[in-house]
Structures are given as structure tokens and as C-alpha cells.
Chain A
Amino acid sequence: MQQKTKNILKIILFCSIFLVLLLIFSLMMKPQKWFDEKLIQNRDARYVQMTEQPENTIDVLNIGDSLATCTFSPVDLWRQQGYTGFNIGADGLRMAESYYYILNACKNQKPKVLLIESLYLFRYSLGEDTQMLLSQPIYYRVPFLKYHNIWKALVEMPGVMIYHRGYTINDHVWSYDGPDNYLDLELEDKSQRMTFSWLNRMWFNRIKKFCDERGIKIIVYSTVSPINYNRKRIEAAEEFAREEGVDYIDLNQRIDEVGIDWTRDTNDAGDHMNYHGCMKVTAYLGEYLKEHTDLVDHRGDEAYRDWDEELVAFDQLVKDMDRISFADIYRQKKKYMKELKKREKESKKRK
């Protein structure tokens, strides 16, 4: 055999072994089987927990960056309207990622509504987003790469971010004391984009096509955030939604209707909502869903009993939050996790 042919065969063999190993490791990489759910943190947490939801039980998906995940509480939506929801967004989310998050969420679910917080539609960097064209489909299909960070759960303390259908309670208050007419002003960060990139439009169209095929209604909304929104951005988002043929709600022009109290409802001086603000936004979105969709109230339905149980646990944690602030919990996580574990053990014993 010629040396050249030998070399080509060697390369093919090397690549094949690599792919087989990657496949084997990917099959082994089932975080939910390896670890307690609480050990899985941050982005992976929501992603994994979403796949763990009982089949076809989620009505509403909420996606976007940190603005979205801290503005929508599925447990409160349940309390108020009896709809089931899940936050599938992530901090600094990019459009490419979000498409695969939605695909992942719809593997076991048939949601009827997809809420999209508009801020992340503006986020764009040619370099990073071009790279994501290549990397995100790979991460989605190769769990070894997607969950490669999961090893950290082996050496770390259990996280303190307790996820309630993708929402983490944050009761920290840092009031917004800026002008009320923030919509008429320039954004503080001048580098923020006011338009949508062609790549983001492409991803949005893919999301829309996917949702249309499954009968999922898309509602784009801009949550309350003086740091991130002004009139230019809202008008851009509104026009974008019109062009794409989807519903659009801007909450920044409905501050009074939502009932936002700037001294109490924001976590970081008008950037993100805290739990108080989140409850109000969720209530507003819930009313909107009631009026504009045919979602069914599942309260009282035996198949959705776990939601009632979760509501009890959720309210208990909110009470705890009054005792120990979010910041303290974060600092004293060891102590707090011990307390939680103890409580869990006791509750198991009682059962």
C-alpha cells in the first residue's frame, strides 16, 4: 500500500475513533441521572430541568436573557391563572442558543405560547454570532460538549440557585431613582444596538417557522427596564414584531397598568426586576394571555398537583427570603444548604 493511502486511512481511523468516543461519552453524559438536580447550576440547570418536566404539561415558554428570566415567574402564573409555564432563557442569551433551547424544550412538550423578551433580539457581535452558527448545532447534538461543565458539580457545593420552573427568587431591592420619562432619553450605554442584525432575523425566522409548524403562538414583549429600553428601541421592537407578524407588548409604556413601584420593584437600579416587580409583570402577562389565547386553567386538575406542591414550597422560600436576604444566602451558602438539606430530610421522614 502506498504511504499516501496509508496516511489517509490513518486520518480516517483517527477521526472515526474520536467520533465513536465522543458518541460513547455523550451517551454517558446524562446529567440528570448522574447528579442531584440541585447540583446542576446556571445555564445547564434550566436546560436540564426543562427536559425533566412531565410530558406535555407546559403551556407557556418564556425565553430571553436575564431580563426575561427575572421578569416571569411560572409559579405565580399558576397561582394567578392556572397556566403552566417555564423559563428557558439564560443570562446574556444569544439568538442561536435560544433556537436550540426552544427545540430542547419542545422535545417532550407541546407549548401553546412562546413569550420572547425583546432585549436579546438586539444583542449581536459578528464574530461570536458567526461562530455560534457552527458551535450551537454541535452543542445541541453532542451532549458531551453541551454538558462538559457538569464535572464541576462533583467538586463544588450544591448551588443555592433554587429554580422554580426556571425562575429564581431574588428579593434584593435597589431602587431606580432615574427620570420617569426614561423612554424619551438616550440609553446610558451608547454602544447598545437599536437595530436587528440579519443573523438575528434569520434565527428568529427559524424559531417562527418551528413555532408555526407546531401551532405555538409567539408573543414578543419588552419588559420594564429603564436601563435597557428607550423609545427608539421599543419602536424598533414593535416594527420588528409587525414585520414578522407576531404580537408585541411593551410594558415600559404601561408602568401604571403593571403597577411598578420604582422604590421597591427593581433589583439593580432599573436594570432587572426583583421578585416584587416580577410578580407584577407576571400578573400583567397572565392577564394578557387570558385575553388573547385559549389557554386552559389547570387548577384543580389532579394531573397538575405537583404545581400546587411547588407553590407551597415557593411561598415558603419567599418567607425564608424575608429572614435571610438573597445576598446573605449567597454568602452563607454552606450554612443555608445544610439547613435546606436538614429540612428535606425531616420532611422525608415525616412522609
Chain B
Amino acid sequence: MAIHTNLYLLVFLPLVMLIYQLVPRNKRWGVLLSASYVLYFSFSRFLVLLLMATSAFTWKIALWMDDLGAQSAQKQKECADRKQKSEVKKDFQKKRVKVLRLGVLVLLGILFYVNYYNFVAQNVNVFLGALGAKLPMARVLFPMGISFYTLEAVGYMADVYWERYPAEKHLGKVALFLSFFPQIMEGPIARFPDTAEALFSGAPIQMANINEGLLRILWGLSKKMVVSDRLTLLTNLIFGNYKNYHGSFIIMAAITYTIQLYMEFSGSIDIVIGSGKIFGVTIPENFNQPFSAQSAAEFWRRWHMSLGNWFKNYVFYPMTVSPMVKNWSKKARKKYGKYWSMVGTSAMALFPVWVATGVWHGAGWKYLFYGMYYFVILLLGVALEPLKEKRNKKLGIDPNASWFKTLRILKTWVIIFTGELFFNAKTLTAGFEMFFSIFGNFHISSIWKYWPDDLLTTGDVYAIVGGCIIVWIVGFLKEHGWDARKKILESATPARWSILFTLVFALLLFGAYGTGYQPVDLIYAGF
């Protein structure tokens, strides 16, 4: 029961709302937790036990670290001098690190086993084969959302370790934070203080929140059903049979896949945020008009923001301030100068982030390549910055001029489309074949000559283009400070209802659903 299905939207969500409102306030968190496990059971069956175990384990590890911290404070009080205090502190700090390592290793170990074991075994077997040995392949069931809730759990444990906030004593609160039903499939990856308090508070459902939540859900559904689900047919056809298509089709597939992915992923996040809002929970945003970005780095600050923030907080910053990087930076500055020290430090901090970002998306060389692709582009961005400044000065280019911004946006689009081409290709080899076919086998006329009009008719194309234009206008206005959603919610009831009815009926009329359309699975639910 995915969150975009009628079963979720027409039955599950209203039922949870009803039960939530009917039970006493102090038990409402229990309703949300039970609903989360029911939903999880509906697609991962008994792997819900793994989610429960992960929650209990995370809760225990955090408490253990907290307990060690308290013991350390107590022991320090009992110490006679500073030196002794410092030794006690160090001693307990070591113990806390060990506990954190245990927690992180167990959770990442499960994630590794589920996601990557077979991939690693397959590749290792290529070498072992020569020696006559072989790693056995595992029959692994994929627990839905494991990549999302594992990162949340690791983030929570790390924050407790860094004493950003104390460990939560109530197991239910940690369990609900990790498994809240709208978020479990596709994120966003939240931090404990973002949602836990609101989830646990059992605040009554407010009319204003219902309005806001439903409007957000409607908007998300429209993106998915009007645009994304239609484009899926086209992208699947071309990516699945790329050898039969000219380069012009490949370029189109890269563009349409990017649009499909954005509409689908951001649309489902809208449904997630809207669902959360109904219960008074503000789930963090995951997208911020990513196609307005003027560089790849900015794109990643606007696209899948919760993943980017997670890697920034738990990989990038710790790497930057790690003794290894700091020492290297110091030495490099003396030996090679400020510029190369800066480039080298950036490389050392960015490399693990982008390896992790790549493989987080799945097991496969193409995902690793995807991560490395952005690593190289972002590093080039850092390395070429002084040159760019020089060029702008020399040619008298105003970096804030509209034409220059537009050019930068277009350049970023090319980077994004190319990245998504590799991301969605069946394999890395297929990705390269598709990429090179753009240069060697490009026939623009083949688009209208061989357009698969049995899959996407003229009407479908109109719906896609119309949907994209509306989403773009709404995004553009928001970028310039005019939030359409806010304006609708602030308007008088008759006007608001008129807009809502128009949206609902437009969705019912132009949505790709019903007989003849296969429901399209959520892409990020597979990661």
C-alpha cells in the first residue's frame, strides 16, 4: 500500500485520522506507530520485525551512550584533580565511541548485507574464480525504506554521541520517529528534533492542518499522475531498448527521465509532507526548485535536500574537521600553497560523501559512477572558481546578469540530464553506450518519425507539457517570493474551495489512472 494509491489515500489515511482523533491524546502516538507498522507490513511483511528491532537497538545504543556520559560526569565529580578528571573523561569517551561504533556498524552492516552483499560477492567472484573459490550468493529480502530509516537511526545515535540532544528514554518515541508511515518509503530523512516531539505530542487534528495537508497531497498527486506516470512509459521504452533508438531519442529520454523522477519524487514527498501536516507534524522539505540551480553544487542543495544534509552533517563536516584532513591541509598549505591545499582538502572531504551518495542509491557500478561523476564536477567547480572569477573580470561579465544566470542554469541542466542518463541506464556499460550514441548516431528527425504514439498520444504530450508548465510557473513564483499554496490557504473559503475543486477535477480528468494504466511504483522506494 504505497502512499500514492487510492487504498492509502481513501481508506488508510482517513481511517488513521479518525482513530487518532478518537483516542485520548496520550495514546495517539500509539495509533501512529501501529498504523506505521501496519503500512510497513503491507509491503514488507515480517521484515517489519527488522524495523522494530532496529528501533529498539537504536534506542538502547543511544541510552547506553547517555548513561556512559552520566557515569562520566558522576565520576568526574568524584575526582580530586583536573588530570584525573581528564583521564576519566577520556576513558568514558573511548567507551562511548566504542558503543557508537557498535551501533553504526550493526546498522550499516545490515544495510550493506541487504543492499550490497550480492553485488560485492558477484564482483569478488570474478577474481576468486581464477583460484577456484567462490563466495556464495545470498537470497536476501529487501526491507522497504531500509536506506532511509538506517540513516535516520545512525544520525540519531551520532547526535546523541555529540551531545546535540539527550537520548530519548521512551522506546515508542524513537520507534515512531524511525517508522512514521508517510516517511518510511521515500523519506525525507529527518533528524530526531525535526519530527519526534510533534509525533509524540498527540496534538488534535486541526482544520487548518487538514486544509494545508490535503492541498499538498493534491499537488503531489497531480505531479505524479499527470506528468510522471505518463513519462514512465516513454522512458521505460527507450532505456529498455536503447539500442533501437537514435541519439536524439536518447537525449529526450535523459530529459524526460529527469522530469519524471523530479515529478515523481517531489510529488511523493508532497504527499508525505501533506500527510504529516494533517497530524500536525512538519516534515522537512526535500526539494527547493532544483532546476533553478546555477551550478551542480547548488542543485544538490535543492534536490533531495535531506540526503544532502545528512551527508553534510555526518560525513562532510566530520571529515573536514578530522585530524587527518586538518594535518594534511596544514602541511599542504606550506608545501603547495593556499589554492592546492583548498582543492586537496575539498577533495578529501567530498570524496567519501559522493562515494556514499552513489552507493546509497543502490548496488551497481552505475551508482558508484553517478557519485563519482558529481564528485569530479563539484571538485572542478571548486578548483576552477578562481579562473572563472578572472575570466569574468577580464571579459567584463556581470555574474548577476540575467543572461549569464540563464546560461549557468542551462549548463547545470546538461550536467543533471547527463547524470540521470547514467543513473537510470540498465548498467554502466549501457549508460556509456547511450551517452556515446548521442554523438555518433544523432538524427533529430527520428523523434517525429518513430514517436511511440501507441504509448504517448498527442493528448498525453499535451498533459505532460501543460503539467510541466504549471509546475514551473508555481516554482518560479515561489522562487520570487509568491507562494501559491500559501495564497490559496489564506484566501476566503469560497475562493479556496473553488480552487480546490478545480484542482481535484483537473486531477481526476487529466491524471493517468484507471483502466488501461498500470499503477507506477515509486522509484525511490526501491532504494
Q: Is the interface of B mostly helix, strand, loop or mixed?
A: helix
Count of A-B residue pairs with CB < 8 Å: 74
Contact with B along A139-163 (1 / 0, CB 8 A): 1000011101101111111000000
* Docked pose: A131 CA to B207 CA in angstroms: 28
Q: Does B241 contact A (CB under 8 A)?
A: no
Contact indicator B514/A134 (Cβ below 8 Å): no
Is A21 in contact with B501, judged by CB distance below 8 angstroms? yes
Does any Cβ of A come within 8 Å of B484's Cβ?
Answer: no
Over the window 1-16 of chain B, the binary record of Cβ atoms lying under 8 Å from chain A Cβ atoms (1 yes, 0 no) is: 1100111001100000
Interface residues of B in 452-472 (CB under 8 A from A): 454, 457-460, 462
Chain B contacts of A345 at CB under 8 A? none
Q: Verify if B247 is at the interface (C-beta below 8 Å from A).
A: no
Report whether A149 and B505 are in contact in the complex, using a CB–CB cutoff of 8 Å.
Answer: no
> Is A209 on the interface with B (CB-CB < 8 A)?
no
Enumerate chain B residues within 8 angstroms of A43, measured Cβ to Cβ.
515-516
Interface presence of B497 (CB below 8 A) = yes
CB distance from B204 to the nearest CB of A (A): 9
The answer to whether A134 and B6 have CB atoms under 8 Å apart is: yes
A21, closest chain B residue (CB): B501
List which B324-356 residues lie within 8 A (CB) of chain A.
none
Output the nearest chain A residue to B463 by Cβ-Cβ distance.
A152
A44 to B459, CA, bound (A): 15
Among A21, A44, A156, A330, find the residue whose CB has the most chain B CB atoms closer than 10 A: A156
B244 at the A/B interface (Cβ < 8 Å)? no
Residues of B within 8 A of A92 (CB): 518
Please tell me if the beta carbons of A148 and B519 are within 8 angstroms of each other in the complex.
no
Closest Cβ of chain A to B513, distance in Å, is: 8
For the complex, what is the distance from the CA of A145 to the CA of B6, rounded to whole Å?
13
Pick from B458, B501, B514, B515: contact of A17, CB below 8 A.
B501
B519 near A151: Cβ-Cβ < 8 Å: no
A128 CB–B CB distance under 8 Å: yes
**B516 lies within 8 A of A7 (CB):** no
Cβ–Cβ contact B509 & A128, under 8 A? no
Is the C-beta of A10 less than 8 angstroms from some C-beta in chain B? yes
Contact B511–A128 (Cβ < 8 Å): no
B508 at interface by CB-CB < 8 Å: yes
* CB of A117 closer than 8 Å to a CB of B: no
The distance from the CB of A29 to the nearest CB of chain B, in whole angstroms, is 10
* B504 interface residue (CB < 8 Å to A): yes
Question: Is there an interface contact between A130 and B519, defined as CB atoms closer than 8 Å?
Answer: no
Q: Which chain B residues (204-255) contact chain A, with CB distance < 8 Å?
A: 207, 210
Interchain CB contact under 8 A, B459 and A21 = no
Taking a contact as CB atoms under 8 Å apart, the answer to whether A131 and B519 are in contact is yes
B514 touches A146 (CB 8 A): yes
Residues on the B chain within 8 Å of A35, using CB: none
Q: Which residues of B contact A97 (CB under 8 A)?
A: 515
A127 in complex: contacting residue of B207, B497, B519, CB < 8 Å: B519
Of the four ranges (under 10, 10 to 19, 20 to 34, 35 or more), the interface on chain B belongs to 20 to 34
Q: How far apart are A37's CB and chain B's nearest CB, in angstroms?
A: 17
Which listed residue (A17, A139, A148) contacts B497, Cβ 8 A?
A17
- Bitwise interface map of B from 41 to 63 toward A, beta carbon under 8 Å scored 1, else 0: 00100000000000000000000
Distance (Å) between the CB of B500 and the closest chain A CB?
8
Q: Beyond A17-B501, A18-B501, A144-B508, is A139–B207 a contact (Cβ under 8 Å)?
A: no
In the complex, what residues of A have CB within 8 A of residue B11's CB?
134
A145, B7: Cβ atoms under 8 Å?
Answer: no
Flag if A90 contacts B515 (CB, 8 Å).
yes
| Nearest CB of A to B418, in Å | 32
B518: A residues at CB distance < 8 A: 92, 128
A198 at the interface (CB under 8 A from B): no
A80 within 8 A of B: no
Chain A contacts of B501 at CB under 8 A? 17-18, 21
What is the minimal beta-carbon distance from A114 to any residue of chain B, in angstroms? 20
User: Which residues on B sit within 8 Å (CB–CB) of A17?
Assistant: 497, 501
Are the CB atoms of B458 and A156 closer together than 8 Å? yes
A residues 1-56 in Cβ contact with B at 8 Å: 7, 10-11, 14, 17-18, 21, 25, 42-44
Complex: chain A residue closest to B214, CB-CB: A14
Chain A 262-283 near chain B by CB (<8 Å), digits 1 or 0: 0000000000000000000000
On whether the beta carbons of B497 and A14 are closer than 8 Å, the reply is: yes
B508 near A131 with CB under 8 A, answer no
Given the contacts A131-B5, A134-B11, A21 and B516 also touching, CB distance less than 8 Å: no
Q: Which residues of B contact A148 (CB under 8 A)?
A: 508-511, 513-514
Residues of B within 8 A of A153 (CB): 459
CA distance A97 to B508 in the complex (A): 19
A66 on interface, CB distance cutoff 8 Å = no
Decide if A145 touches B459 in the complex (CB within 8 Å).
Answer: no
Residues of A within 8 A of B508 (CB): 144-145, 148
> In angstroms, how far is the closest chain A Cβ from the Cβ of B293?
34
Q: Which of A18, A91, A134, A144 touches B10 (beta carbons < 8 Å)?
A: A134
Please give me the residue from chain A that is nearest to B509 by CB atom: A148
Residues in B neighbouring A157, C-beta threshold 8 A:
458
If A18-B504, A127-B1 touch, whether A152 touches B516 (CB-CB below 8 Å) is no
Give the distance in Å from the alpha carbon of A146 to the alpha carbon of B454 in the complex: 20
Known: A134-B10, A135-B6, A144-B508. A156 touches B519 (CB 8 A): no
| 8 Å CB contact of B516 from A18, A42, A151, A330 | A42
A156 touches B459 (CB 8 A): yes
Closest 9 CB pairs of A and B: A152-B459, A7-B207, A43-B516, A156-B458, A155-B459, A156-B459, A148-B509, A43-B515, A131-B7
A–B Cβ pairs within 8 angstroms, 5 of them: A18-B501, A127-B519, A152-B457, A153-B459, A330-B454
Residues of B within 8 A of A (CB): 1-2, 5-7, 10-11, 43, 207, 210, 454, 457-460, 462, 493, 497, 500-501, 504-505, 508-511, 513-516, 518-519
A residues lining the B interface (CB < 8 Å):
7, 10-11, 14, 17-18, 21, 25, 42-44, 90-92, 97, 127-128, 130-131, 134-135, 139, 144-146, 148-149, 151-157, 330
